[in-house]
Amino acid sequence: MILYKEKKYVCLLDFAMEFIRGKWKAVILCHLYKEPKRFLELQRVTKGISQKVLNEKLKELESDEIITKIVYAEIPPKVEYHLTEKGKELTKIIKEFENWAVKYYPYLENDCK
């Protein structure tokens, strides 16, 4: 049993999966893989996500040190989200899931690029 930040995990894998739990985190990370993105850009490409949830997930990813947030002191505000090294390695693994799906479900199109 692992205790981390007030939460319980039955094993290390359970703990590891926590970083990408839910419908959106993996998708967000993939969108940040090639290059950093701004908030609105991210919302646009992550089709279907609500502003509220995007914000929540970005906060969680930041506090987990998977991404970093860069705020430019401009008006209107400009914010960029980048993957950390730790986040890049995680995202590489996530992309393997995508490849797995491509292999076993080749007829499903992949518009998530």
Partner DNA sequence: CAGCATCCAGTGGGATACTG
Partner DNA sequence: CAGTATCCCACTGGATGCTG
Kindly write out the interface string for residues 54-93 of this chain, putting x where it contacts DNA by CB under 7 A and - elsewhere. -xxxxx---------x-x----xxxx--------------
**Nearest 10 degrees: Cα torsion 39, 45, 48, 53:** -30
Work out what residue 83 binds among DNA, its own copies, none; the CB cut-off runs from 5 to 8 Å by kind: none
Q: Read off the amino acid at residue 47.
A: K
Binding site for its own copies (CB under 8 A): 1-2, 4, 10-17, 20-21, 23, 26-27, 30, 46-49, 86, 89-90, 93-94, 96-98, 100-105, 108-112
